């Protein structure tokens, strides 16, 4: 008998989030310098994939990318611009991934080339997935264009599409080469997309950073009114907390069962599916967080004052917190999201709640009766009536 052969090695990852304004202005050397850092003296092939919501709102973008690559053509080899349908539908069909894979194949994009994706979180997830499976991993530069993608979804390590009626069922853990946030893209966002991404900032503040929560509380009106500086700080701080958690939280590729950054997400993911993705991810996350903090109050983890304070901030920013779920059947369907969430992460059920503003608290079981009470409470009134503690 041969003895077992032990195998062990470590791979370290390093990537940078850059912030800029007017990324493809000819004088802006950031993009060129990122490629130059990778390869100084030769031309690097670049396949651009662009969300159609962005292309329609920024009508000069495709032309500007071409002119920019032309100016720095000693380093940048512009292969093609591909425009794809934006929004969640890009994650719901295999067609989108096939389109990217086909372009990677037909244009001989190799592991020394780059796919550059410009768009909202959905397109970034989908293109990231395609890039990760082509040749077992083509390099990816993400240029996120929504608040949610700039402060959360594009700064992490996950790529995915939906399948079998389940959110993010297919996917990879594959860190990007780098991420570039260009604040100018945000000017053309619909108000709902401007607001939706703030849910993820409130999420990290609630589980990790009381001071950041206080900042968001103080600046809620400014955020709602699209104050530029306030939004820039909110995005930067939120992205930083996400990135620090991924690097130092001890589980970047989620092999454990605890997933604090998914606070409020069991209900959000289920709700997105139940509403046929008519809700934005951030809108669903806001509802999911408020449901879970209401539950946290009902089981005695946070005070009524804390609960009211949290709800007030969400409302002041402009979130609609009610769930489009009323009948017993609909409630039960939503609650199935708890088991699906466990199944997605594997292992023991772990739902992150809070035991105070800024402090996360994991629980391993959910009382369905109390969760339904929490849901009714959120729906009865957005000024939550949760005066009586449960005596269930
Ligand atoms: P989205 O990608 O669905 O975009 C919303 C809409 O905005 C789309 O119609 C899009 O075309 C349009 N759009 C994008 N940028 C625009 C701009 N600058 N101007 C005008 N219109 C623009 O929404 P999102 O909130 O950015 O992303 C949500 C997705 O992110 C979900 O699929 C969610 O699952 C995913 N996500 C992924 C992670 C991760 O770790 N990978 C984390 C959180 C969320």
106-121 pLDDT, tens digit each: 999 999 999 999 999 9
Nearest CA to 178 out of 143, 145, 151, 141 is that of: 141
Q: How confident is the model at residue 387 (pLDDT cuts 50, 70, 90)?
A: very low
Q: How confident is the model at residue 262 (pLDDT cuts 50, 70, 90)?
A: very high
Return the pLDDT at 388.
39
Is residue 195 lining ligand 1, measured as CB closer than 6 Å? no
Is residue 350 lining ligand 1, measured as CB closer than 6 Å? no
Query: 218-257, pLDDT tens digit by residue?
Result: 999 999 999 999 999 999 999 999 999 999 999 999 888 7
Is residue 196 lining ligand 1, measured as CB closer than 6 Å? yes
- Domain-by-domain residue ranges, the chain? 16-188, 191-385
Indicate whether this model's pTM tops 0.85.
Answer: yes
Return the pLDDT at 390.
41
CATH of 191-385, one of 3.30.420.10, 3.40.50.720, 1.10.3720.10, 1.20.1090.10: 1.20.1090.10
CATH topology of domain 16-188: Rossmann fold (3.40.50)
Query: Quick one: tokens of 301?
Result: 């983890």
Query: 140-197, pLDDT tens digit by residue?
Result: 999 999 999 999 999 999 999 999 988 899 999 999 999 999 999 999 999 999 999 9
Is residue 189 lining ligand 1, measured as CB closer than 6 Å? yes
81 pLDDT exceeds 80? yes
Tell the residue nearest (CA) to atom 3 of ligand 1.
Answer: 87
| Spacing, Cα 197 to ligand 1 middle (Å) | 9
| C-alpha span between 207 and 242 (Å, rounded) | 11
Three-state secondary structure along 190-218?
CHHHHHHCHHHHHHHHHHHCHHHHHHHHH
Query: 128-142, pLDDT tens digit by residue?
Result: 999 999 999 999 999
| Spacing, Cα 261 to ligand 1 middle (Å) | 17
Q: How confident is the model at residue 264 (pLDDT cuts 50, 70, 90)?
A: very high
94 pLDDT exceeds 80? no
| Spacing, Cα 123 to ligand 1 middle (Å) | 7
Tell the residue nearest (CA) to atom 43 of ligand 1.
Answer: 153
Helix (H, G, I), strand (E, B) or coil at 318: coil
382 pLDDT exceeds 90? no
258 pLDDT exceeds 70? yes
Return the pLDDT at 381.
65
Is residue 57 lining ligand 1, measured as CB closer than 6 Å? yes
**Cβ distance 241 to 204 under 8 Å?**
yes
Q: How far is CA 32 from CA 39, 143, 182, 250, in A?
A: 10, 14, 15, 33
Question: What are the residues facing 261 on neighbouring strands?
Answer: none
Helix (H, G, I), strand (E, B) or coil at 178: strand
| C-alpha span between 297 and 355 (Å, rounded) | 9
Query: 320-347, pLDDT tens digit by residue?
Result: 999 999 899 999 999 999 999 998 888 8
Return the pLDDT at 346.
83
Query: Quick one: tokens of 367?
Result: 């009382």
66 pLDDT exceeds 60? yes
| Spacing, Cα 131 to ligand 1 middle (Å) | 18
| Spacing, Cα 137 to ligand 1 middle (Å) | 23
Residues 255-259: contacts with CB within 8 Å, 24+ apart?
A: 256/347, 257/342, 257/345, 257/346, 257/347, 257/348, 257/349, 257/350, 258/350, 258/352, 258/362, 259/345, 259/350, 259/352
Is residue 144 lining ligand 1, measured as CB closer than 6 Å? no
The atom number, within ligand 1, closest to the CA of 269 reads 34
Is residue 185 lining ligand 1, measured as CB closer than 6 Å? yes
Return the pLDDT at 166.
85
First-to-last alpha carbon distance for the chain, in angstroms, is: 60
CA 387 to chain centre: 34
| C-alpha span between 184 and 232 (Å, rounded) | 11
Query: How much of the chain, in percent, has pLDDT values that exceed 90?
Result: 89
Is residue 90 lining ligand 1, measured as CB closer than 6 Å? no
């Amino acid at each position: 008998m041969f003895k077992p052969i032990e195998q062990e090695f470590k791979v370290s990852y390093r990537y940078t989030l850059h912030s800029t304004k007017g990324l493809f202005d000819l004088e802006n050397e950031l993009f060129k310098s990122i490629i130059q850092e990778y390869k100084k003296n030769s031309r690097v092939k670049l396949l651009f994939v662009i969300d159609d919501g962005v292309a329609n709102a920024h009508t000069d973008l495709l032309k500007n990318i071409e002119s920019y690559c032309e100016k720095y053509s000693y380093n940048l080899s512009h292969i093609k611009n591909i425009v794809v349908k934006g929004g969640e539908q890009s994650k719901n069909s295999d067609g989108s991934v096939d389109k990217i894979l086909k372009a990677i194949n037909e244009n001989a994009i190799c592991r020394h080339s780059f796919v550059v994706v410009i768009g909202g979180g959905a397109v970034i997830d989908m293109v990231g997935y395609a890039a990760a499976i082509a040749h077992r991993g083509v390099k990816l530069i993400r240029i996120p264009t929504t608040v949610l993608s700039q402060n959360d979804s594009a700064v992490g390590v996950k790529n995915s599409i939906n399948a079998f009626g389940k959110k993010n069922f297919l996917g990879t853990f594959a860190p990007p080469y780098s991420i570039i946030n260009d604040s100018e893209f945000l000017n053309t966002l619909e108000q709902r997309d401007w607001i939706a991404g703030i849910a993820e900032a409130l999420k990290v503040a609630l589980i990790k950073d009381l001071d950041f929560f206080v900042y968001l509380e103080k600046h809620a009106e400014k955020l709602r009114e699209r104050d530029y500086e306030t939004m820039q700080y909110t995005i930067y701080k939120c992205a930083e907390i996400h990135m620090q958690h991924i690097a130092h939280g001890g589980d970047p590729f989620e092999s454990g069962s605890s997933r604090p950054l998914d606070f409020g997400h069991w209900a959000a993911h289920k709700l997105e599916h139940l509403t046929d993705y008519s809700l934005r991810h951030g809108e669903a996350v806001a509802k999911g967080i408020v449901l879970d903090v209401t539950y946290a109050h009902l089981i005695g983890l946070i005070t009524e004052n804390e609960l009211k304070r949290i709800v007030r901030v969400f409302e002041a920013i402009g979130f609609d917190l009610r769930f489009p779920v009323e009948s017993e059947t609909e409630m039960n369907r939503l609650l199935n999201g708890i088991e699906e969430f466990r199944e997605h992460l594997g292992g023991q059920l772990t739902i992150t709640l809070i035991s105070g503003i800024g402090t996360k608290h994991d629980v391993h079981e959910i009382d369905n009766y109390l969760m339904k009470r929490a849901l009714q409470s959120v729906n009865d009134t957005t000024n939550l009536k949760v005066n009586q503690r449960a005596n269930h």
